[in-house]
């Protein structure tokens, strides 16, 4: 990764208040990432392994975690799975030297929001971070006014990207919220996997990765995920959200 050749954010989209946690056992890469992302306008903290990351995550709230997969001891996949089990929906961008489709799918299955293979262009890293942050906290101007969508006993508010049920708010990861928002905006229309990937800001995610995201979302909105009432698969075409009581 060449930090020297990366330009500072020309769009001004790097939120000055966004606090990132970089977790990587490679001290040199960790330092380079800290320097580059700080130059992009982010607050940046760092951890050398999962144990150090856990301590920092317990002590403060972060807006996004940049997480290496292959680390000694507890892996990045195990750490993100622990976060999701604990109800922590902080967005996670995973970094790894393993860029195969199966590895991307594994990242999404464990709860990651995006996946970037090493080596990578630092400008792409910054772009993906901004994309995830935008969809995690969409600006009012980016969200079309739309009435809440009924999904049985649950309701999804597109303006707040919030899912609620009789038990109260239901936690969604950034990726899950972005997927449900894209489907809700075009409820009743079939969206191809490519259209969904574009809406999520992950155009190279691959079909299996999109299928994994849909499976995760069904667990949050369907009474019986294996027999979906609302989020339907349309063979050879994609997916459609059909709200209803």
CATH number at residue 82: 3.40.50.2300
DSSP letter at 138 equals: -
Q: Are 126 and 157 within one domain? A: no
Q: Would you state the pLDDT for residue 11? A: 39
Domain that holds residue 184: 140-241
How many folded domains does the chain comprise? 2
Q: Are 98 and 167 within one domain? A: no
Q: Would you state the pLDDT for residue 144? A: 43
CATH number, position 179: 1.10.10.10
Q: By the 8 A CB rule, do 74 and 50 touch?
A: yes
Higher-pLDDT residue of 6 and 31 is 31
Q: Are 114 and 163 within one domain? A: no
Q: Are 27 and 131 within one domain? A: yes
Q: Is the pLDDT assigned to residue 44 strictly greater than 80?
A: yes
Domain end marker among 136, 154, 173: 136
Q: Would you state the pLDDT for residue 99? A: 62
For residue 103, name the pLDDT band (cuts at 50, 70, 90): confident
For residue 58, name the pLDDT band (cuts at 50, 70, 90): confident
Q: Are 186 and 88 within one domain? A: no
Nearest CA to 102 out of 224, 187, 212, 218 is that of 212
Q: Count of alpha carbons within 13 Å of 41, Cβ hemisphere only?
A: 16
Q: Would you state the pLDDT for residue 137? A: 61
Q: Are 56 and 129 within one domain? A: yes
Q: By the 8 A CB rule, do 43 and 20 touch?
A: yes
CB atoms inside a 10 Å sphere around CB 49: 17
For residue 173, name the pLDDT band (cuts at 50, 70, 90): confident
Q: Are 57 and 100 within one domain? A: yes
Task: Evaluate whether residue 8 is within a structural domain.
Answer: no
Tens digit of each residue's pLDDT (9 = 90 or more) over 115-133: 888 888 999 999 999 988 8
Cis check: omega of the bond before 234, within 30 degrees of 0:
no
Q: Are 28 and 104 within one domain? A: yes
Q: Would you state the pLDDT for residue 208? A: 84
Q: Would you state the pLDDT for residue 232? A: 96
Rg (CA), the chain: 18
For residue 244, name the pLDDT band (cuts at 50, 70, 90): very high
Higher-pLDDT residue of 36 and 85 is 36
Task: Evaluate whether residue 14 is within a structural domain.
Answer: no
Which pTM does this prediction carry? 0.62
User: What DSSP element (H or E) covers 45?
Assistant: strand 43-47
Q: Count of alpha carbons within 13 Å of 115, Cβ hemisphere only?
A: 29
Q: How far apart are CA 133 and CA 245, in angstroms?
A: 32
Tens digit of each residue's pLDDT (9 = 90 or more) over 129-172: 998 888 766 543 344 457 889 999 999 998 888 899 998 999 88
Q: Are 170 and 231 within one domain? A: yes
Domain end marker among 113, 136, 159: 136
Q: Would you state the pLDDT for residue 143? A: 40
Q: Would you state the pLDDT for residue 29? A: 93
Query: Roughly what angle, to the nearest 10 degrees, separates helices 193-200 and 207-221?
Result: 80
Domain end marker among 109, 136, 163: 136
Task: Evaluate whether residue 150 is within a structural domain.
Answer: yes
Task: Evaluate whether residue 166 is within a structural domain.
Answer: yes
State how beta strands 168-170 and 231-234 pair: unpaired
Q: How far is CA 236 from CA 154, 209, 233, in A?
A: 29, 16, 9
Task: Evaluate whether residue 116 is within a structural domain.
Answer: yes
Q: Are 23 and 132 within one domain? A: yes
Q: Is the pLDDT assigned to residue 192 strictly greater than 50?
A: yes
Q: Would you state the pLDDT for residue 117? A: 87
């Amino acid at each position: 990764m060449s930090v020297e050749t990366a330009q500072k954010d020309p769009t001004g989209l790097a939120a000055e208040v966004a606090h990132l946690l970089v977790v990587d056992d490679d001290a040199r890469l960790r330092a380079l990432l800290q320097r580059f992302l700080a130059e992009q306008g982010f607050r940046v903290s760092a951890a050398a392994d999962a144990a150090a990351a856990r301590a920092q995550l317990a002590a403060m709230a972060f807006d996004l975690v940049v997480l290496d997969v292959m680390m000694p001891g507890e892996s990045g996949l195990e750490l993100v799975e622990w976060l999701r089990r604990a109800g922590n929906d902080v967005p996670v961008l995973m970094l790894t030297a393993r860029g195969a489709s199966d590895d991307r799918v594994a990242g999404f299955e464990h709860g990651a929001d995006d996946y970037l293979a090493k080596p990578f262009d630092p400008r792409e890293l910054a772009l993906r971070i901004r994309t995830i942050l935008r969809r995690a906290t969409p600006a009012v101007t980016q969200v079309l006014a739309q009435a809440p969508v009924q999904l049985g006993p649950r309701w999804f508010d597109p303006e707040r990207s919030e899912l609620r049920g009789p038990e109260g708010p239901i936690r969604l990861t950034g990726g899950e919220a972005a997927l449900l928002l894209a489907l809700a905006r075009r409820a009743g229309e079939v969206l191809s996997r490519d259209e969904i990937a574009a809406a999520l800001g992950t155009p190279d995610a691959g079909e299996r990765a999109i299928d994994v995201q849909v499976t995760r979302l069904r667990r949050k909105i369907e009474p019986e995920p294996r027999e979906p009432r609302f989020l339907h698969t349309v063979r050879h075409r994609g997916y459609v959200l059909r709200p209803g009581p």
